């Protein structure tokens, strides 16, 4: 898969090292990765450019991940939305469904699982 | 009584002479013309044993009459003589009337009016008058003494009657056959008898049978009549009203005819009081012996005068052996507790439940609660002090456990935030390690080509070496070796940073969970506050801005872990108040920490812009278990514990709050732990 042709993936996390670790994990997956440090920054990026996938942290300063994904879904209805959080049980399933979230990944993540979840969401 | 004393105290004879002065006499009567001697001259023979007073009229004579044994009145006084006789007729000293010549008419009149004797101032006057006077005086004195004796007997009889009638005990006089001669009103009242009706009756028929049942009364009376003296004893019998009474029985032989006195005093009440007193003493002794505190009584010089068993146990000595030893042996000089007891001994000052400790002979120290009150005598004078020592070892242990449990509970409140803080670095460290392992695999492939190149170069096999170099370049490119090397370094640094963050969090937690030493230590309050604030803030940093304004502070002698717990409680409350206000919204609140030195104290204030506290809750927030938080958000002990801890440091904690605006807590900690607020070792 060439770098120019892969799906565009937006990753949002306030923790810089998480962003770089996720980039490392997905380095060979062919995604064109862009990142944002907050939900607000993510939304402004989504207003400008198209993405195929959005992977967001939940607990962040400002709006939280679920709220961000809800709005992201409005901006780009075709994008696959995924939430990554250390407290998966804190986010009720019905809220995830209401926000149109296709995948829930727990932190720390398992490399293979992460890749599988992204692929599954993309092809759903 | 007055009469007897006068009679006994004046053995001298006193005579009052009433006659006109010579000049007046000469004008009045014919007898004056004679050369017969006057009354005064006629009495000269009586000698110096006689006091003579002179009067010239009735008033003067009568004024002296009460002290006189005899009045001698010149008949020529006329009306004054009549007055004197009239006045003394019903009582008083005898009156002898002197007529100038023998005059039967005058004499008869004088006797009729009460004169004792009439003497004519004729030739034998000087011999006669002293004899007459002495005889009258002798008679008068005899009569007077007789009268006095009679009065005395009469008085004694009255006294006797009064005593017998009013005497509260039952009295009976019995004859030799033990028949009733007399009973007093108390006796009659006690057994519903008529004092007159029982006279002459045998006692055994007069007294109720239950009283006689034991036979003790009759036996005692018999022995007394026979001149043996039985010991006093107590007899018991029910009264008619059914109450069981006790009587003190005493008997006394009255005369040779065998009459005896029986005295029965009701001592039921006295016995009851004695019993109560004994019970009370036993009860008190029981309490003191078995009370769960050590009790010591000391004299004004702090020497132990009594101690209960627990006191012995606590001081490490036999309670009896403690007697006479100085309490100061266990309270070293200069200690606040010794000064407090000294104040009780000197000024009567009282105090209760002061936390302190005593040092045993073996050097071991026991935490105690000390109470002391002055020992007052019947008239309020201080005789020493009562000292109560409560062994606090167990309580201290429990307090320590409770404090620790609470501390752990407050850590529980932080758990989610702390776990998040650990989880994030864990997340990227975990992922990075996985990637680094992959990187290593790729780099190993590059390294294998390097090895191949070296081997072919050493073998001088140029074409093989070229092929190896080509292959090395291909593999390097394939794995992106340059990037891997660079990114490997970056990943290592990120992992190091992440693990450092975890180490910090765990260190803070461990610090916080740690118990204080047994004694206060010097600590930097800014540092205590800062490490606690960082730990709390790391869990709420998304919604809270933390502003620190630390003043320059001297080191404070304190229990740092306890103070950290106070700061933790205040900070968690502040963070929760802010979260409650913003409810996960976009805005963030402010926690403003400020420390400063104010006089001899350190002041720590924690201000937040949270929801604030309702005015009606403000005076209850330091109560144990008072909480307005949701279930699971705290058990309402945080502020109560904080209050206790600050108080143990001799400090104060205050709150100011406005609903919807925010809250400020201010903790004031004195630099010197004084006696009143002496910190306890927990």
pLDDT above 50: residue B605: yes
With 70 as the cut, is the pLDDT of residue B334 above it?
A: yes
Mean pLDDT score across all residues of chain A: 90
Please check the confidence at residue A4 and state whether its pLDDT lies above 60. no
Please enumerate in sequence order all residues whose Cβ is within 8 A of that of B557, keeping only pairs 6 or more positions apart, or say none: B520, B521, B522, B523, B671, B672, B673
Has residue B10 been placed in a domain?
yes
A57: how many CB neighbours lie within 10 A of its CB?
26
The pLDDT assigned to B193 comes to 87
Please tell me the predicted confidence (pLDDT) of residue B34.
44
**Could you tell me if B460 and B579 lie in one domain?**
no
Q: Which residue has the tokens 């304190």?
A: B558
Residue A102 three-state SS:
strand
- Pairwise pLDDT comparison (B47 vs B131), residue with the higher score: B131
Is residue B136 scored above 80 in pLDDT? Answer: yes
Q: Is B554 inside a domain boundary?
A: yes
Mean pLDDT value of segment B333-362: 81
**Rounded Cα distance, A19 and B494, in Å:** 11
- Yes or no, beta carbons of A17 and B420 under 8 Å apart: no
At B166, is the pLDDT very low, low, confident or very high (cuts 50, 70, 90)? Answer: confident
Domain boundary pick from B475, B496, B515: B515
The structure tokens 């002794």 sit at: B285
Domain final position from B119, B150, B181? B150
Query: Is the confidence at residue B618, as pLDDT, over 80?
Result: no
- Does one domain contain both B13 and B140? yes
- The CATH number assigned to the domain holding B235 equals 3.30.450.20
Q: Could you tell me if A107 lies within 8 Å of chain B, comparing CB atoms?
A: yes
Q: Is residue B327 part of a domain?
A: yes
ipTM for this prediction: 0.90
Lowest mean pLDDT among B44-58, B121-135, B156-170, B405-419: B405-419
Backbone dihedral region of B115: left (phi > 0), alpha (psi from -120 to 50 degrees) or beta? beta
Contact B543 A61 (CB under 8 A): yes
Name the nearest CA neighbour of B136 among B301, B16, B256.
Answer: B16
Which pLDDT value is given to residue B31? Answer: 42
Q: Considering CB atoms only, which of B423, B498, B543 is closest to A86?
A: B423
* pLDDT tens digits, B220-239: 888 888 888 888 888 888 87
Binary contact (B542, A86; C-beta < 8 A): no
**Contacts with A15 from chain B: Cβ below 8 Å:** 424, 428
Q: Is B491 found in the same domain as B407?
A: yes
Measured on CA atoms in the order A60, A62, A64, A69, is the torsion positive or negative?
Answer: negative
Q: What is the pLDDT of residue B2?
A: 36
Range B483-491 contact pairs with CB under 8 angstroms and sequence separation of 24 or more? B484/B439, B484/B442, B484/B443, B485/B443, B487/A24, B487/B439, B488/B436, B488/B439, B488/B440, B488/B443, B490/A20, B491/A20, B491/A21, B491/A24, B491/B432, B491/B435, B491/B436, B491/B439
In tens, the pLDDT along B59-96 reads: 888 888 888 889 999 888 888 888 888 888 888 899 99
- Chain A segment 29-58 residues within 8 A of B by beta carbon are none
Number of domain units in chain B: 5
Question: Token pair for residue B26?
Answer: 């000469």
CATH number for the domain spanning B133: value is 3.40.50.2300
Distance, in Å, from the CA atom of B568 to the CA atom of B545, rounded to the nearest integer, reads 16
User: Does residue B159 lie within any of the structural domains?
Assistant: no
B487/A24 Cβ within 8 A? yes
How many percent of chain B have pLDDT more than 70?
91
Q: Name the domain boundary from B465, B489, B515.
A: B515
| Whether residues B13 and B133 fall in one domain | yes
Averaged pLDDT, B498-521: 81
Nearest chain A Cα distance for residue B432, angstroms: 6
Count CB atoms within 10 A of the CB of residue B325.
Answer: 16
Q: What is the pLDDT of residue B32?
A: 42
Q: Which of residues 517-576 of B touch A (CB under 8 A)?
A: 541-543
Q: Which of B551, B575, B567 is nearest to B511 (CA)?
A: B567
Q: Which residues of B touch A59 (CB under 8 A)?
A: 420, 542
Using CB atoms, pick whichever of A14, A17, A60 lies closest to residue B498: A17
Query: d(Cα B532, Cα B507) in Å, to the nearest integer?
Result: 11
Q: B 414-473 residues with CB below 8 A of A?
A: 416, 419-420, 423-432, 434-435
Query: What pLDDT sits at residue B1?
Result: 36
Instruction: Return mean pLDDT, chain B.
Output: 83
B548 versus B392: which is more confidently predicted?
B548
Q: Would you state the pLDDT for residue B7?
A: 40
Q: Is residue B381 part of a domain?
A: yes
pLDDT at B680: 39
Same domain for B408 and B299? no
Q: Do A61 and B487 touch (CB under 8 A)?
A: no
Does pLDDT of B675 surpass 50? no
Q: Residue B240: pLDDT band by 50, 70, 90 thresholds?
A: confident
Give me the mean pLDDT over the B437-456 stretch.
94
- Residue B660 and residue B570 share a domain: yes
Residues of chain A contacting B586 with CB distance shorter than 8 Å: 62-63
**Which residues partner with B388 through β-bridges?**
B295, B371
Q: Do A21 and B425 touch (CB under 8 A)?
A: no
- What's the confidence (pLDDT) of residue B682? 34
Residue B677's pLDDT is 40
- Nearest partner of A96 among A82, A80, A113, A77, judged by Cα: A82
Are B54 and B125 members of one domain? yes
CA–CA separation, B210 vs B356, rounded Å?
64
Kindly state whether residues B141 and B6 are assigned to the same domain.
Answer: yes
Confidence of residue B208 (pLDDT cuts 50, 70, 90): confident
Average pLDDT on B668-681 reads: 58
- Looking at residue B287, what is its pLDDT? 84
**Residue B218 — very low, low, confident or very high, per pLDDT cuts 50/70/90?**
confident
Share of residues in chain A with pLDDT > 90 (%): 66
Q: Look at A25 and B428 and tell me if their CB atoms are within 8 Å.
A: no
B644 neighbors B679 (Cβ within 8 angstroms): no
Beta strands in B402-484 (DSSP E): none
Q: Which two tokens stand for residue B455?
A: 């081997």
Domain of B665, CATH number, reads 3.30.565.10
| Burial environment of residue B577 by CB neighbours within 10 A (0 to 12, 13 to 18, 19 or more) | buried
pLDDT, residue B628, reads 66
More confident residue, B408 or B70: B70
Look at residue B187 and tell me whether its pLDDT is greater than 60.
yes
Instruction: Quote the DSSP letter at residue A88.
Output: G
Determine the pLDDT at residue A119: 93
Same structural domain, B523 and B564: yes
The residue ranges of every structural domain in chain A are 8-123
Element (H, E) at B237: strand B233-238
In B32-89, where does DSSP find H-type helix?
A: 39-42, 58-64, 79-88
Q: Cβ contact (<8 Å) for B588 and A61?
A: yes
Minimum Cα–Cα distance from B421: chain A residue: A86
Instruction: Out of B376-390, B499-513, B599-613, B614-628, pick the least confident.
Output: B614-628
Torsion (CA) A69, A72, A78, A79 in degrees, nearest 10: -60
Domain A8-123 belongs to what topology?
Answer: Rossmann fold (3.40.50)
Instruction: Mark whether B61 and B95 lie in a shared domain.
Output: yes
Which residues span the domain enclosing B303? Answer: 293-391
Q: Do A24 and B426 touch (CB under 8 A)?
A: no
Question: Tell me, what's the pLDDT at B452?
Answer: 93
Query: Which among A18, A87, A111 has CB closest to B428?
Result: A18
Asked if B658 and B600 sit in the same domain, the reply is: yes
Q: Are residues B508 and B523 in the same domain?
A: no
């Amino acid at each position: 898969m060439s770098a120019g042709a892969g799906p565009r993936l937006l990753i949002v996390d306030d923790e810089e090292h998480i962003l770089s670790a996720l980039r490392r994990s997905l380095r060979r997956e062919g995604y064109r990765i862009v990142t944002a440090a907050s939900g607000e920054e993510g939304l402004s990026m989504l207003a400008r450019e198209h993405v195929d996938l959005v992977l967001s942290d939940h607990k962040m300063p400002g709006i939280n991940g679920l709220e961000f994904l809800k709005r992201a879904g409005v901006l780009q209805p075709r994008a696959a939305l995924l939430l990554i959080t250390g407290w998966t049980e804190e986010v009720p399933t019905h809220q995830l469904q209401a926000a149109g979230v296709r995948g829930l990944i727990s932190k720390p993540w398992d490399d293979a699982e992460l890749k599988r979840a992204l692929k599954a969401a993309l092809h759903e | 009584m007055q009469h007897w004393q006068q009679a006994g105290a004046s053995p001298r004879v006193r005579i009052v002479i009433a006659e006109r002065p010579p000049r007046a006499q000469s004008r009045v009567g014919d007898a004056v013309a004679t050369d017969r001697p006057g009354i005064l001259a006629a009495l000269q023979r009586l000698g110096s044993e006689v006091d003579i007073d002179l009067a010239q009229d009735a008033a003067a004579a009568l004024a002296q009459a009460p002290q006189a044994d005899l009045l001698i009145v010149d008949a020529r006084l006329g009306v004054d003589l009549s007055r004197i006789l009239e006045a003394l007729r019903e009582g008083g000293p005898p009156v002898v009337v002197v007529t100038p010549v023998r005059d039967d008419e005058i004499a008869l009149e004088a006797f009729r009016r009460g004169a004792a004797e009439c003497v004519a101032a004729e030739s034998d006057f000087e011999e006669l008058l002293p004899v007459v006077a002495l005889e009258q005086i002798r008679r008068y004195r005899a009569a007077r003494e007789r009268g006095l004796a009679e009065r005395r007997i009469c008085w004694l009889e009255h006294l006797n009657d009064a005593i017998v009638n009013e005497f509260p005990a039952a009295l009976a006089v019995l004859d030799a056959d033990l028949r009733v001669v007399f009973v007093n009103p108390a006796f009659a009242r006690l057994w519903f008898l008529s004092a007159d009706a029982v006279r002459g009756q045998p006692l055994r028929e007069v007294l109720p049978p239950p009283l006689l049942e034991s036979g003790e009364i009759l036996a005692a009376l018999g022995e007394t009549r026979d001149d043996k003296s039985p010991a006093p004893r107590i007899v018991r019998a029910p009264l008619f009203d059914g109450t069981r009474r006790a009587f003190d029985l005493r008997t006394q032989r009255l005369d040779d005819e065998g009459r005896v006195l029986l005295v029965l005093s009701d001592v039921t009440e006295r016995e009851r009081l004695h019993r109560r007193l004994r019970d009370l003493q036993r009860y008190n002794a029981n309490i003191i012996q078995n009370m769960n505190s050590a009790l010591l009584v000391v004299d004004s010089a702090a020497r132990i005068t009594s101690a209960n068993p627990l006191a012995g146990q606590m001081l490490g000595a036999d309670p009896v052996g403690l007697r006479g030893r100085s309490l100061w042996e266990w309270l070293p000089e200069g200690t606040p507790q010794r000064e407090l007891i000294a104040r009780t001994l000197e000024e009567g000052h009282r105090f209760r439940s002061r936390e302190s400790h005593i040092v045993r002979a073996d050097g071991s120290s026991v935490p105690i609660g000390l109470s002391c009150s002055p020992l007052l005598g019947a008239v309020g004078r201080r005789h020493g002090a009562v000292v109560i020592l409560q062994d606090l070892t167990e309580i201290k242990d429990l307090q320590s456990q409770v404090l620790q449990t609470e501390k752990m509970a407050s850590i529980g409140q932080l758990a989610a935030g702390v776990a998040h803080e650990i989880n994030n670095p864990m997340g990227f460290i975990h992922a990075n390690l996985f990637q680094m392992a992959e990187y290593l695999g790729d780099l190993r492939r590059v390294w294998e080509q390097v090895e191949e190149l070296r081997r072919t170069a050493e073998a001088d096999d140029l074409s093989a070496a070229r092929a190896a170099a080509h292959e090395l370049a291909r593999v390097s490119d394939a794995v992106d070796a340059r990037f891997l090397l660079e990114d490997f370094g970056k990943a290592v640094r990120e992992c190091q940073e992440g693990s450092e963050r975890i180490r910090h969090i765990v260190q803070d937690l461990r610090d916080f969970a740690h118990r204080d030493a047994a004694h206060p230590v010097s600590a930097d309050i800014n540092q205590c506050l800062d490490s606690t604030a960082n730990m709390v803030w790391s869990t709420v940093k998304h919604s809270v801005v933390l502003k620190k304004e630390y003043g320059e502070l001297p080191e404070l002698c304190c229990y740092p872990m306890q103070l950290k717990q106070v700061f933790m409680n205040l900070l968690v409350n502040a963070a929760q108040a802010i979260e409650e206000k913003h409810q996960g919204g976009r805005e963030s609140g402010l926690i403003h920490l400020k420390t400063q030195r104010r006089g001899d104290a350190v002041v720590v204030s924690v201000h937040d812009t949270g929801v604030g506290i309702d005015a009606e809750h403000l005076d209850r927030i330091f109560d144990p278990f008072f909480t307005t938080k949701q279930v699971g958000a705290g058990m309402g002990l945080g502020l109560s514990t904080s209050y206790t801890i600050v108080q143990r440091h001799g400090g104060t904690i205050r709150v100011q709050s406005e609903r919807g605006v925010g809250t400020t807590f201010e903790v004031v900690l004195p630099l010197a732990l004084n006696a009143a607020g002496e910190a306890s070792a927990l």
